[in-house]
Structure 1
Amino acid sequence: MPVADLFPPSMTFSHLWPWIGLVLAVPLAIALAGGGLRGDRSVTRWRDPVWLCWAGTLAYLFHQVEEHGVDALGVPYAFRGMLCATFGFPDPAACPIPEAFITAVNIPVVWLAGPVCALLGRRRPALALAWLGVPAVNTMAHLVPAVVEGAYNPGLVTALVLFLPLSVWSFRMALRRPDLGRRAVAGTVAGGVLLHAVLMGSLVAFLAGRIGTALLVLIQIVNPVIPPALVARVTAGQQISPPPARPRPGSR
């Protein structure tokens, strides 16, 4: 696809933000590779919930490009069209789902909640794990329709290649840590499910005329609070990690 078709002069922020996220992914990838985003240097980065949370944020930035930038079939801003068709609006131009809804869903939960949970996870590793429930549940939201319909959907490739192995590894790691364990994993999955339920439930309410655009957008902005809040509650009283030691020169 010609670059000019991806970035027309009339492009609005609703279509531009995934590409901004792709630019932000570059320094994040460099920081992850350099070990600067570690939370627990007593273990390898692959057993560090904070590092895994940052890695999940990076994976989600790539996922957002496939969903809302250009999908694996070369269709730009493809996810909204698929979502509209799911709700019975085959023509995206006539679909009442606002582009602001798509933007409000994605930026707060990935650009804001991901880093915030990673930072909070330096003292409470369960909070870093909590955010990883979002890509884990999102994987199923792509995989199940793909299996049932036998067809590709925007975001499927990155969900399978990035989200699925990251989620399986993160939960396996958490089950082996005494400061996380089954309770934290269960809360993480429940938080991811609840976030997606609120997202879809509010959209259904909007399409039924029960709420307006402003409230629909506001719900998406607040929605990312659910996973860490739920995990914080279900893991209350569990061991809290001490402040991380300052990294030694050359430490990875």
Structure 2
Amino acid sequence: MDLDTIAWIATAAYAVHILEEYTFDWRNWARSVIRLPVEWSDFYVTNAVVVVLGICQAMLAPKLPVAPLIYAALMIINATFFHVLPFLRARGRFSPGLVTALVLFYPIGIATFVIAAPGIGTVVGAVVGGALLMAAPVVMLTQKSRPYFRQDRA
């Protein structure tokens, strides 16, 4: 398998992951377990962006191989910090997205790095890029209610 193919598979896996999260009510889980002030509209917009990024990284794979690595890092970070660790901290309370994180995100994310066989600098850059992509919506969600960012003020 080549990098282009695994990049498209990663995008499809993320779509299935989103379906699992939606079906099993990720929004209410996130509000109660990880205390994230998320609404369904936030979920829809964030995941639409993730799908667009997935399509972009798959299309860029032939000319910019770091793009699929950043997306793979995003998948692994999402699986670890938003599904597996909260599941363990909540003593086995099901995390919507946990099944696809374990069955799809880890194998596909790891396979992407194996196929690309990047140097350590590229691995570090991809992990930093994936972490920034994962952090961006979380930071925006936690900051949007601060007075400076509120658009309903005079």
Give the TM-score normalised by the residue count of structure 1: 0.54
- Report the equivalent of 1:108: 49
CA distance in 2, matches of 1:170, 1:117: 12
Whether contact under 8 Å (1:129, 1:188) holds in the other structure is: yes
The letter of the residue matching 2:31 is C
Q: Aligned match of 2:119 in 181, 186, 191?
A: 181
1:210 to partner: Cα distance: 4.3
Unaligned runs of 5+ in 2: none
1:209 to partner: Cα distance: 4.6
Structure with the greater relative contact order (CA < 8 A, sep ≥ 6): 1 or 2? Answer: 2
Whether contact under 8 Å (1:64, 1:155) holds in the other structure is: yes
Query: Which structure has the larger Rg?
Result: 1
- Report the equivalent of 1:54: 8
- Report the equivalent of 2:71: 131
Whether contact under 8 Å (2:21, 2:97) holds in the other structure is: yes
Whether contact under 8 Å (2:68, 2:112) holds in the other structure is: no
Q: 1:59 to 1:211 in 2, by over 3 A?
A: same
**What do residues 172-217 of structure 1 show as CA deviations (whole Å, max 9, x unaligned)?**
3333xxxx32222211111111112222111111244542489xxx
Q: Secondary structure at the match of 2:96?
A: coil
The letter of the residue matching 1:79 is W
Q: 1:146 to 1:213 in 2, by over 3 A?
A: farther
Count residues in correspondence: 149
- Report the equivalent of 1:193: 131
Give the TM-score normalised by the residue count of structure 2: 0.85
CA distance in 2, matches of 1:210, 1:155: 33
The letter of the residue matching 2:29 is M
Mapping of 1:25-104 within 5 angstroms?
A: 45=1, 48-68=2-22, 70-71=23-24, 78-85=25-32, 86-87=34-35, 97-104=38-45
Unaligned runs of 5+ in 1: 1-44, 72-77, 89-95, 215-252
